[in-house]
Amino acid sequence: MSKSERELIVELEAVLNGRRYSPVVIRNYCSYAREFLDYLMHRGIPVGDVTEIEVAEYLRHAAVLFRKRRGRRPSKRWHEVPQSGIHALLRLGQGQWPPAPKVACAADALRFVICNEYETWLREERGLAQASIDAFLWEARCYLAWQFDQSGVECLKGVTVGDIDSYMDLRGAKLTRSSLKCTAERLRSLLCYLHRTARVAADLSPHIISPRLYAYEGVPSILERDQITAVLASTSMDMTAAGLRDHAILQLLATYGLRAGEVRNMRIEDIDWRAEVVRVRHSKTQACTLLPLMDPVGEAILAYLRTGRPATDAREIFIRTRAPYRKLNKLYSLVRRRLRDAGVNPLGRCGPHIFRHTRATELLRAAVPKKVIGDLLGHRSTGSTDPYLKFATEDLRAIALDVPGTEVLA
């Protein structure tokens, strides 16, 4: 191993220590990084020229060595540890990993140019959030790659309705009606942009027909109060760092009906312990709401901050239990696991939004005005709160009128 490669390993170890990885993980990552550098040296490949192909080839080579050394095949997820160590090494050696896609042909060059300009238009002209921009760009890359493979770069200006129909048939084969509607909206946006920039002769966006989705056509799941109590009681018995964190998250979801993003983005300074107030940053409207800090919520968060939260510079309250210690990416699997552990099996989806639906339903049954419910949930208009009315089915049954002539029919 050359001096520069040794320095790279030393830098990798320092970075992992700075991110508070455990000593065992640091040792494993650095060990696999050294073996990967030796593999590259024997083949004369500089670190700066490594691609995903070389990494995949090395992992297959490492799996063969594992089998020879231990006399058994590695597990299905064995590659995750060496792969993580190698990726961390390459981020230092190349400055970015995975590497940015390279232009291999004229179609790639045009696709990159269009997508870069389209991203700017989505952000500056339409003012979309980054998550929406990513979804629109993903569809744009898929469509342009498909179109160029079908007809070539020169035929983009002459795209026809038949081309669009063929692409939608391909994309819609395994999509639900809701997903197909989203696909149609994203493709409609791209075609509108291509026409505005004179890359497509005719505006084909009006010709994209999406499925009709009816308001309130589905009734999502909700939880009864005894089910919520069972979930919170089950989670409170877990005194590990993950258990303390999950219990605090579930208390927030069940008490206030927050969105998953509002919980994930909640920061330490959002809780005023003296005034007993919690500030909620609504992820959709970007507005803030001050809510009273209820005792069960405050106690759960305090227990997590004292003994469960890892030492980190991150300001978000809820952090991953393993390094790198940063905010949680999602809550769906967390909530689903805790519901399962408590023996609660909703009929429909079982993600964090089920607590939001449940909270809205409880307030409706308590005769709370719809405007107040909307303010609590962070809705801009009362129309956004209307879908929650369909959950109060028991209330509707109580005021339902008997159908005339039912005795005769019986």
Task: Give the three-state DSSP class for 292.
Answer: strand
> Which of 171, 188, 282, 353 is flagged as catalytic?
353
Tokens (6 digits) for 31: 């060990």
Q: Is the pLDDT of residue 66 over 50?
A: yes
Active site residue 195: no
Tell me, yes or no, whether 406 lies in a domain: no
Tell me the C-alpha distance between 222 and 353, whole Å: 9
Whether 335 and 351 have beta carbons less than 8 Å apart is answered as yes
Band of residue 389 on the pLDDT scale cut at 50, 70, 90? low
> Which of 111, 188, 282, 379 is flagged as catalytic?
379
The domain of 14 spans: 3-94
Active site residue 353: yes
Predicted confidence at residue 410, as pLDDT, reads 46
Rounded to two decimals, what is the model's pTM? 0.71
Query: How confident is the model over 256-290, as pLDDT tens digits?
Result: 988 888 999 999 999 999 999 999 888 766 678 88
Q: Is the pLDDT of residue 376 over 60?
A: yes
Whether 204 and 164 have beta carbons less than 8 Å apart is answered as yes
Tell me, yes or no, whether 403 lies in a domain: no
| 400 or 243: which leads in pLDDT | 243
Predicted confidence at residue 299, as pLDDT, reads 95
Tell me, yes or no, whether 214 lies in a domain: no
Query: What is the count of structural domains for the chain?
Result: 3
Active site residue 356: yes
Q: Is the pLDDT of residue 403 over 70?
A: no
Tell me, yes or no, whether 408 lies in a domain: no
- 362 plus 254 within the same structural domain: yes
> Which of 284, 322, 326, 380 is flagged as catalytic?
284
Q: How many CA atoms lie within 13 A of 57 on its CB side?
A: 9
Tell me, yes or no, whether 52 lies in a domain: yes
Active site residue 225: no
Q: Is the pLDDT of residue 177 over 80?
A: yes
Active site residue 259: yes
- 58 plus 112 within the same structural domain: no
- 150 plus 128 within the same structural domain: yes
Query: How confident is the model over 303-351, as pLDDT tens digits?
Result: 999 999 998 888 999 999 888 888 998 899 999 999 999 998 887 778 8
> Which of 32, 118, 304, 388 is flagged as catalytic?
388
Tell me the C-alpha distance between 10 and 30, whole Å: 9
> Which of 111, 245, 282, 356 is flagged as catalytic?
356
Active site residue 207: no
> Which of 259, 264, 282, 359 is flagged as catalytic?
259
- 164 plus 252 within the same structural domain: no
The whole-number average pLDDT for the span 36-63 is: 90
- 157 plus 243 within the same structural domain: no
